[in-house]
Amino acid sequence: MRAVRFHSHGGTDVLQVDEIEQPKPASDEVLIDVHGAAVNPVDTYFREGSYEPFTLPMIPGIDAAGEVVAVGDDVTGFTEGDSAMATGIGKDHYGGYAEYAAIPDDRVVALPEEVDTVAAGAAGVAAVTAWRALIDHADLQLGDRCLIHGGSGGVGHAAVQLAAAAGAQVITTASPGYHDELTDLGADAVFDYRRDDLADAVREASEGGVDVILDHRMHEYLQFDADVAATGCRVVGIGEKEQQVGFEQSAAARGKDLQLTLMSMFNTPDLRGPLSAVASLLASGDLDIRIATGYDLDGASEAQRAVLEESFLGKLVITP
């Protein structure tokens, strides 16, 4: 089969398409014919060497979805011909940038027949992160006022839809070109993140302050979060671009009993739980993973460049 691999760490030029043997599923694995594999920033971190993969050469790709073609002897709940989606596979296991992927059954779930497998392949880490942040960590409730920074991103556009499906008031930020589409996805208010009066706009839209915040740039927005928070606001941080983050002054956070949780999707105790929830939302139409651009295996280098350098709404996906 054909698979994208990197044999050493480096830039996008280390990615190459190799002809290798098709894997056979171990006793606890599901072998899928990959229809779609998301391109995520974290894929580039493994390639660069910021995160150490478990072996080299490595097949990147945290996410994958497609058709089940074989199952291991100890696997239950899957039969050949089923659709399936997975996440968390490119960290300690060969990833999804390949024609076939053998995936441990603790990180793969069956998909309803009506779900598009390419979109499901793009959903994994983004949608599961959004679910874990909003539902498991922030305990988002009906009627909560929820601020989602960066609503056009992979996690952001999934989070907007999850929050709307949960019955929250959804406020998000994005470049103006994405405002109409985010409104269509369920946002009640969308603001340009470059507005000088952004804090005032968020407070006005939420009638005084928000109850839940999803923050992907804590180095930039942590003090802002405290300033727009209502008392008891739950802030969930999923990332930053600078290692040092902190409040410029903590009185606003302390005075509002701000609750701050930092999370990584890789700490999820059982990925099948949130993955099953995501699969159900995809089937019901409450979650629509927007595909900005698709690439074949030969386009993997360009895809990994684009995921870090270009602006787009939704996800980039490899379609082997």
A 10 A CB-CB count for 19 gives 7
Radius of gyration of the chain (CA): 20
What whole-number distance in Å separates Cα of residue 113 and Cα of residue 101?
Answer: 20
Answer for the pair 144, 212: CB distance below 8 angstroms, yes or no: yes
Q: For residue 21, give the DSSP letter.
A: P
Please confirm whether the linkage preceding 25 is cis (ω < 30° from 0): no
Query: Please, where are the H alpha helices in the chain?
Result: 41-48, 117-131, 154-165, 179-184, 198-205, 218-228, 251-255, 272-284, 300-309
Residue 242 pLDDT: 65
A 10 A CB-CB count for 219 gives 15
What whole-number distance in Å separates Cα of residue 75 and Cα of residue 160?
Answer: 35
Angle between helices 154-165 and 272-284 (to 10 degrees): 70
Residue 16 pLDDT: 98
Residue 26 pLDDT: 97
Residue 37 pLDDT: 98
Could you please report the per-residue DSSP string of 51-118? S--SSSSB---S-EEEEEEEE-TT--S--TT-EEEE-S-SSSS--SSBSEEEEEGGGEEEE-TTS-HH
Residue 92 pLDDT: 87
Could you please report the per-residue DSSP string of 173-194? E--GGGHHHHHHTT-SEEE-TT
Residue 303 pLDDT: 98
Please enumerate, as own/partner, the contacts of 246-249 that have beta carbons within 8 Å and a separation of 24 or more. 246/222, 247/222, 247/223, 248/223, 249/223
- pLDDT tens digits for the chain (320 residues)? 999 999 999 999 999 999 999 999 999 999 999 999 999 999 999 999 988 767 899 999 999 999 999 999 999 999 999 999 999 998 889 999 999 999 999 999 999 999 999 999 999 999 999 999 999 999 999 999 999 999 999 999 999 999 999 999 999 999 999 999 999 999 999 999 999 999 999 999 999 999 999 999 888 889 999 999 999 999 999 987 666 677 776 777 788 999 999 999 999 999 999 999 999 999 999 999 999 999 999 999 999 999 999 999 999 999 99
Domains and CATH numbers, the chain: 2-111+290-318 (3.90.180.10), 126-265 (3.40.50.720)
